[in-house]
Every structure is written in structure tokens, then in C-alpha cells.
Structure 1
Amino acid sequence: MASRRKQLHLAAHFPGVNNTTVWTDPQSRSQIDFSSFEALARSAEAATFDFFFLAEGLRLRESHGKIHDLDVVGRPESITVLNALAAVTDRLGLAATVNATFNEPYEIARRFATLDHLSGGRAAWNVVTTSDAFTGENFRRGGYLDHADRYTRAQEFVDATRTLWDSWDSDALVLDQQTGRVAEPGAGRFGHRGAQFEISGQFGVPRSPQGHPVIIQAGDSSAGRDFAARDADVIFTRHGTLQAGQEFYHDVKRRLSDFGRQRDDLKIMPGVTVVVADTDAEAEEKAAHIRRQQVSGATALHLAELLWGIDLSDRDPDGPLPAEDPVVGSAVVQGRVQHSKDPLATAKKWREAAEANGWSLRETVIAQQNRQSFIGSPQTVATALDEYVQADAADGYILVPHLTPGGLDDVFERVVPLLRERGVFRTEYDGATLREHLGLPTPAPGRVRTGAA
């Protein structure tokens, strides 16, 4: 008997801290008005997506002392937005990015547990970290955290929040006919003592319908992969080819057993862009137009500055790449992560590609943006999404639109029906909680996690 095909997991991303969105397109709507968040969330739920994903930064980035032209000024705080979306959706998971460096476990545990109750068990926390002193200036501690200590704090942060969530047993609320629900004595009592946190008290939010909010983590380093294998339910990553995706997938899945976990306990969902048109040729032309919109001359210079670490504001984006070598450790663009681990080698690679293809600086930057993309007719895109998942390059994808809130409409309306025809995507929600959508186990109260501090 043939084995059952893997089911795809899909999520909708609402960007706000990157250069994906084309702000100048006539179809682009507000990035801060609630109607935009609601429109994308409602469409994603109608398409039975697993969850709606909000990115967030803690400080507006700057370039040459001015606010970066790709950042959203006035963006509402993510959990507040999701609490409002909980009232206008019924099944869609609601995921917020919240920093583990500049927050405290009690407050984050309380906020996500509240969202989980208000939504009926649909909350998710995308755990991020930072060692950026520029961002740290917004907080009392400043930029105190060494880069190497980010995951040390984050792991203990997650342990502490889980201690709080586990402080209520699922039956700690008993129904009294006259007074309503009353807590059993001792419900919510907690204590955590570690190198990063020493806290104790009583947690005021009862255990939620899915036990714990879903934990999402993004990271590609060895430490980040171990963090995901130990603590995450979903890992959000990016890989430009099928082979790179398969290598990452197998490496992270292999690490799960080191922490006493099963292969299906962690879902790998890369962030991807999708461009759909009537034919493959039209889609390729549309994708090229979108990339030119996304990477203007000014944007190309910003992104090149991130690699070179020098002021390129007086350079011609349609001219050649800088002849200088990158300055390692520079921070010309404040509040932006330098993704290249070896700027000198990356600059060499860019120069070789530019020379071989006759590319300008802007054309090189466009070509080197390596987010995985699925481009083609609805049939081509549906086939590719399915084949990548069946080939163990992913368990599903977080789709990143170039327009909000309507940038994924072609996927919702033209691709999803084809995935359903292939028998690899649900036609309706089978459960009520996000853990049920993702096929994840519900954690038992007070469980012992292998590898926990």
C-alpha cells in the first residue's frame, strides 16, 4: 500500500521590518490600520491556513542618522493586534514576534496565556533575540547582552515561561454552582531559579486550551538549530534551493532525538515568496517587476552598505560594486542584522557574479536576495510547493506577500484549490487549536523536558 502523502502546513506573514513589501504600488494599503490586518487574517482563515504571523522590531532602523525608508512608522504592537484579531477569527492561529532579550518571563507568559484564552487556544510566540546595542538603548539594560549569550538567555526564558504555564493543572478550576469557577488552593504557584532568572510567586492565568502557546523560532546557526530542536514547535527559516532546504531539514530533525523529542514534534516552515500568473512566462516577468520595485536604487545602496559596512550614499546604484573591501564589524545601518558571516568572501562572490553577468550594483543586489520563491502558473506553484514538502525540504511554508493585505490573494484563490485536489491540504479545519492544525502534541502539565536546565 502506498504511503499517505504529507500534508502541507501554510501560514500568512504580514511583513513590517524588511524590504519585501512594495510600498509604492497602487494596490498597497495601510501598514498600520487594523483593517489591513483583519483583511489578510480573514482571507487566510477562509483558505484554512494554519496561522497568521506578525513580525516586529523594537526600534526603527536608521541609515546615516535618519529613519530607514523601508521601516513602518506607527506599527501597532503585535500581541495587541492579535488580541483584536481573535475577536474576528475563529480557527486561524495567531503568532506574534516577541523579543526574549528585552522582556521578562512573567509578563510574556501572562500576555501569551491571555491571548491563548481569548482565542480558544490559537496563540503562538515567535521567540527572537538581539545583542544590538542600538535597539538596547530603548531599554534600561541597554546593549548589555553579548552575542554569544543570546540563546543562553532565550533558552532559560522559554523554560521559565513554561514553568509559569505549567503552574496550573488542567483540572485546577472546579465549577461551583453558586460562585462560579474557583481555583484549587495552590493553583498557579511557581518557582524558577537559574543563571538568568530567579522568580517565584503565583501565576494568575489558568492553563489554556492547548496547554502552551506554540513556540516558533528562527535561526540558522548551530546554536539556533539546537535551540529549535530543544524548545521550538515550529522553526522559521530561509533557504534558496531544494538541496539547501533538504540539508537543513535533515540536520534539524536529526537533532530532535538529542532532546528526547520525536521527528514530528517540530515543523520546519521556511519563509517564501510566491508569484502567480496565468502562465509561467507571465509569472517570471511579474516576479522580475516585483523585484525591481522592492529593490530601488536607494534600497540597493542600503543593502550593499549592510555588507560593506561603509557609507555608499554617494554611489550610483546603476554603477559598479564598491572596489573597497568590506569593513568587518561596522554598523552604518543601525538596528539591522548583518546576515553575512564572512563579508569579505560574500563581497568576492558578488563581484564575480557581477562581472560574469555584466550587472550593476542594483542588479547584483536583486540577484543576491536569496529568499526561496515559487514562481509560475497556479499549477506550477501548487506542484512545486507539494513536491518540496514531499521531498523533505520543509513541512510547509510561511508565505510572505509583496503587497499587504492582498498580496496572497492569488494563492488563496488559485493555488490552494489545486493543493486540495492533490489531497495535501485541508478543505476545512479539523480542530480548534493551533496545535491541532499543526499536528503537534498537547504538553502535559509539569512534564519533564530532556535537556532542560
Structure 2
Amino acid sequence: MPRGSEKGAVPVPVKQIHLAAHFPGVNNTTVWSDPGSGSQIDFGSFVHLARTAERGKFDFFFLAEGLRLREMKGRIHDLDVAGRPESLTVLSALSGVTARLGLAATVNSTFNEPYEVARRLATLDHLSGGRAAWNVVTSWDAFTGENFRRGGYLAEADRYNRAREFLGTARELWDSWSGGDLVADPASGTFARPDAGAFAHRGPQFDIAGRFNAPRPPQGRPVIIQAGDSAEGREFAAAEADVIFSRHGTLEDGRAFYKDVKSRLAKYGRRPDELKIMPSVTYVLGDTEEDAAERAADIRRAQVTPQGALAYLEGFWGRDLSGYDPDGPLPDVEPDLGEGVSKGRAQFRGDRSETVRRWRALAAERGLTIRELVIEATGRQTFVGTPRSVADQIDEFVRTDAADGFVLVPHLTPTGLDDLVEHVVPLLQEKGVFRADYTGPTLRDHLGLEAP
């Protein structure tokens, strides 16, 4: 029974949970060795996961992006998925086999241009009847830049400058069809806006003018998602985003992040409910708490294979560690802090020597092997338990302002979301904290966002 619904009680507003599904791409989440693991590029895999999410009344289906295959020691990193279909193309196809589910694509603002991205997103919004979303990201490395005509990369501050102007320019293009007076054409007896699509943007990053050839999207503008966690990224999200794809998966970290970001909204004239914070999370269900914990441990060991553990350590040590036993102690050599052996992986940026120092201390304190350390260092499942306890955990996060909802990342593709939709979603609906059905046709409706 929903809270506050007891006989005679005054109804208490219940904070509603938002859920999204992430189709895993390049990561160490997918358990490739599981017999249930399917193709990462077959359209049927995308269809299955999207339809499962829609059956569960999720807000949206989310695709990441990869603009270059990552490398390790000068070779393609063979633990990655082999191939990354272009996200907007996949979502355009999915718009024809779903009816209400939001469709969110990651599109890079460093190596694209506003006109073409705005046009593709407007097209997806029209094809889907108002269900498009754009996760705005930037690129930090020259390695990825080698795939593009401009090449190189932008300094971190310049990346956000370009992203802000890129997004602002895209909004000008979407809005270019909304102004102007209707003018009658006596010859045809119809009305038109002669200025429809006319735009001119003059700025430090983009200097473009012409006519935008895609009519205003059904949502007015696609929903904007952002994933930056730096101070500048948080400020960008507070000013521009509708959803934050956060990485804070514990109650304590989640509440701190939630409070910080929401407190930044007022300076931009925005209310707290105009920005949804949705951490990326994983889960494991079991018949009992003990069964779930055992399954979670097995899944973590499958996610971090011996080969994968060594490759991960090599990224921080910056040297070939193939001679070391992954089930033995940490390497006795010091890290090489030069260029390193990994390309295209953001986690190997920063102070690698400090990371190695902390890991040595942790391994010594707890007697961890290389593989055990990597399992510990790369996190664990966010929600583990029976369907009832996982539903309670999800509700607690949202009810206590550690999140507005979650982007769920299953460990199997494409069937990894099935058990949560079948066993946990009905319990959330029973609590009155999650919708029993969609109440509107657009993604903005699902998220409770006003049209721009």
C-alpha cells in the first residue's frame, strides 16, 4: 500500500522514482563468458533490451558512444566489445519497434558540428513522436582525435567552452522554426512562416548562418543529459542539463552530490525538480540475501578475469606485467609514469603514482592478490538482495535524496534486465513510488519536465 494511503490518513506526496536502461558497451560490466551473453551489435539485442525497458515503464533507453577502439600495448584491447554501432542510427531504428520509451544517445561535442547533430536529433524526435535525448560529452585525448579531420584535442576548459556553445547553437537551430508570424499565400490559400529555419550564430567556436531544414522537434528540444563530475561539469549540468548521468552509487556519496548539484540551480533561475540526478548502477537478485551475495561475488569474478585484472593493472603501472601471476601479489616494480601502455581509457589519466601507492597499502593491509585488488578497486554491485530488499534499497536512495532515479546497467546483454522488470518493478509499483503506466507520449512527460 502506498505511503500515506491508510484509511483516514492525509495523503503524503510520494517521491517518484525514474528508471532508465543502459545498453552496455565498452566496459568491464558485461560477463562475456556467460552462456546467456549475446551480441553487442545485432539489432535483435538492442530490440530485446529496449522492449524489456518499455515493458517495465522505464523513462528511457541509453546508448553510450565510442569514437575509437581502445588499445593496450599497441594492439586493439581484445577485452572490449569489437565494434560500436552509431548510436543515433540504432535509436532511429528502435523508434519503430517501441511506442513510449525515451531514446537517449551519447553524441560527442568535440568532434561533431552543431548543424548536423541538431538535425539528427530533431529527426529522431520526429520519428519517435517526442522521445529523443542527447547525452552531451566531450573528448579529452589526441588519440581519439586522430580519427578526425581536425585532429588533436582541446584543453579541459576549452572542451566545456566548446560544449556550451555547441549546445547553445543546437538550441538556436531547434528554435529557428518557432518564431515569426504566419503569412497567407493567396495563390495556394495556405499559410507559412517565411522566416522558418533562418538562423545566424556568430561565436568563438562556431560562425554559421543559413536555414535549418528540420522543423521544430515535438518536445520543443530533445532532453539534455550530462555526465561530468568535475566542478566545471557540475556547473555545466546545473545550467544546461535536464538529467545528470552520475557515478555516485552509495548513499553517502549520492546525498553529497545531490545536495551540491541541486544547490547550484537557483543561480540559473531553475527549480530543483528541473534537473534529475540518475546514477549508473548495477544489481544482483537472489532467492535469499545469502544467495544474492554469493551470486554477486561470482559475477564480480567473472567480470574481472585474470587477463582483465592484469590489463587493468598495466594501465596504472604503465608497463607490461604479463609475467606476473594475477592470483599472486602486486608487482614489485615501480610504475612507469611516461606515456603508458593504454590508449583511449580515461581512468588512466591523473596521478597514477598516487593510485599505485594507495593500492599497495590496501593490498598489504588485506592480503589481496592482483585480481582481488582489481575486483575491490573497480567497485561492486550497487543493489544486491532479494527482489523485495532491492526494491526497498532503490526507494531509500530516492526517498532520502541520494538520487532521483537510476540508470541500470545489466551484466548480461540483452537479457540482463529481464529479472528486475519481472520481479522488482511490480514491488516499486506496489509501494506507489513508480508508475503503473506511462501518462504521456514524450520523454519530457516521463521525466516531469516542462516543454521549453
* TM-score, shorter chain, exceeding 0.5: yes
2:99 counterpart SS class: coil
Q: State the alpha-carbon separation in 2 of the partners of residues 348 and 157 from structure 1.
A: 40
Counterpart of 2:110? Answer: 101
Secondary structure of the structure 2 residue equivalent to 1:429: coil
Q: Which residue of 2 aligns with 1:152?
A: 161
Contact 2:140 2:154 in 1 (8 A): yes
Give the aligned partner of residue 130 of structure 2.
121
Superimposed CA distance per residue, residues 281-306 of structure 1 (whole angstroms, 9 cap, x where no aligned partner): 11111111111111101111122122
Task: Compute the displacement of 1:315 (Å).
Answer: 2.2
What is the CA distance between 1:179 and its match in structure 2? 7.2
Give the unaligned 5+ runs of structure 2: 1-9
- Once residues 184 and 341 of structure 2 are traced to their aligned partners in structure 1, the CA distance between those partners, rounded to angstroms, is 60
Q: What is the rounded CA distance, in whole Å, between the counterparts of 2:171 and 2:191 in structure 1?
A: 23
Q: Residue type matched to 1:420 in 2?
A: Q
Taking a change above 3 Å as real, the CA distance of residues 275 and 174 of structure 1, as seen in their structure-2 partners, is farther
For 1:173 and 1:133, the matched residues in 2 are separated by 48
**In the alignment, what sits opposite 2:311?**
302
Cα separation, partners in 2 of 1:144 and 1:181, compared to 1, 3 Å: farther
Q: Deviations over 1:31-63 (max 9, x none)?
A: 111000001111110110000001110000011
Which of residues 367, 373, 376 in structure 2 aligns to 1:358? Answer: 367
Q: Which of 386, 393, 404 is matched with 1:384 structurally?
A: 393
Q: Cα–Cα, structure 1 residues 2 and 105, in superposed 2: closer, same or farther, change >3 Å?
A: same
Label 1:119 to 1:22 Cα distance change in 2 as closer, same or farther (>3 A): same
Matches within 5 A, 1:94-243: 94-169=103-178, 183-243=192-252
CA 1:372 to 1:136, structure 2 compared with 1: closer, same or farther past 3 Å?
same
2:48 aligns with 39
**1:57 is aligned to 2:63:** no
SS at match of 1:236: strand
Go from structure 1 to structure 2 and tell me whether the alpha carbon gap of 1:170 and 1:10 turns closer, same or farther (over 3 Å shift): farther
Task: Tell me, yes or no, if structure 1 residue 417 matches structure 2 residue 426.
Answer: yes
Q: Cα 1:153–1:318, aligned 2, differ >3 Å: closer, same or farther?
A: same
Structure 1: which amino acid aligns with 2:299? I
Distance in 1, matches of 2:60 and 2:348, equals: 26
User: How far is 1:343 from its partner?
Assistant: 2.5
Number of the residue aligned with 1:450: none
What root-mean-square deviation, in Å, do the aligned CA atoms of Structure 1 and Structure 2 show? 2.1
Question: Are 1:241 and 1:372, in contact at CA under 8 Å, matched by a contact in 2?
Answer: no
In 2, Cα distance between equivalents of 1:116 and 1:396: 23
Structure-2 residue corresponding to 1:429: 438
What per-residue deviation string (whole Å, max 9, x for no partner) do you get for residues 377-431 of structure 1? 0001000000011111100000001001101111100000000001000000001
Partner of 2:4: none
Normalization by structure 2: what TM-score?
0.94
In structure 2, what is the Cα distance between the partners aligned to 1:151 and 1:282? 45
Q: Name the amino acid aligned to 2:343.
A: Q
Q: Which whole-Å CA distance do the structure 1 matches of 2:306 and 2:412 have between them?
A: 19
Runs of 4+ in 1 over 6 A off after TM superposition: 170-182
| Pair 1:216–1:173, CA change in 2 (3 A) | farther
Match of 1:410, as an amino acid? D
- Aligned residue runs from structure 1 range 300-339, under 5 A: 300-328=309-337, 330-338=339-347
Where 1:437 maps in the other structure, the secondary structure is helix
Change (3 A) 1:438 1:179: farther
8 Å CA contact 2:60–2:102 kept in 1: the answer is yes
- Looking at structure 1, the residues matched to 402 and 339 of structure 2 have their Cα atoms a distance apart, in angstroms, of 35
Q: Does the aligned pair in 2 maintain the 1:125–1:215 contact within 8 Å?
A: yes
CA shift digits 1:251-278 (9 cap, x unpaired):
0111111222111111000000011111
Q: Is the 8 A contact 2:185 2:192 kept in 1?
A: no
Q: CA deviation at 1:369?
A: 1.2
Deviation string, structure 1 residues 317-368 (Cα, Å, up to 9, x no partner): 1122233444446341111112664333322222222122211011000011
Measured at CA, do residues 74 and 250 of structure 1 come closer, stay the same or move farther in structure 2, by a change above 3 Å?
same
Which amino acid in the other structure matches residue 138 of structure 2?
T
CA contact (8 A) 1:280 1:376 kept: yes
- Paired AA for residue 25 in structure 1: D
On the 8 A contact 2:249/2:281 being kept in 1, the answer is: no
Q: Percent identity?
A: 64
Whole-angstrom distance in 1 between the partners of 2:86 and 2:378: 28
- 1: distance between equivalents of 2:26 and 2:186? 50
Unaligned runs of 5+ in 1: 444-453
Against the structure 1 CA distance between its residues 370 and 296, is the aligned structure 2 distance closer, same or farther, given a 3 Å change threshold?
same
3-state SS in 2 of match to 1:425 = coil
Answer with 56-65 or 173-182: which moved more: 173-182
1:277 to 256, 270, 286: 286
Cα deviation digits, residues 79-121 of structure 1 (max 9, x gap): 0000000001000000111111000000000000000000000
Partner of 1:397: 406
Q: How many residues align?
A: 443
Q: CA, structure 1 residues 250+175, in 2 after alignment: closer, same or farther (shift >3 Å)?
A: farther
Secondary structure of the residue that 1:407 maps to in structure 2? Answer: coil
CA distance in 2, matches of 1:315, 1:107: 48
Q: Secondary structure at the match of 2:282?
A: strand
1:264 aligns with 2:269: no
Counterpart-to-counterpart distance in 1, 2:98 and 2:189: 27
Q: Which moved more, 1:211-220 or 1:143-152?
A: 143-152
* Paired AA for residue 440 in structure 2: G
Measured in 2, the distance between the counterparts of 1:371 and 1:214 equals: 30
Maintained 8 Å contact 2:139/2:153 = no
CA contact 1:125–1:213 (8 Å) conserved in 2:
yes
Q: CA deviation at 1:202?
A: 0.6
- Distance in 2, matches of 1:83 and 1:371, equals 33
Inter-partner Cα distance in structure 1 for 2:184 and 2:337:
62
What residue in structure 2 maps to residue 346 of structure 1? 355
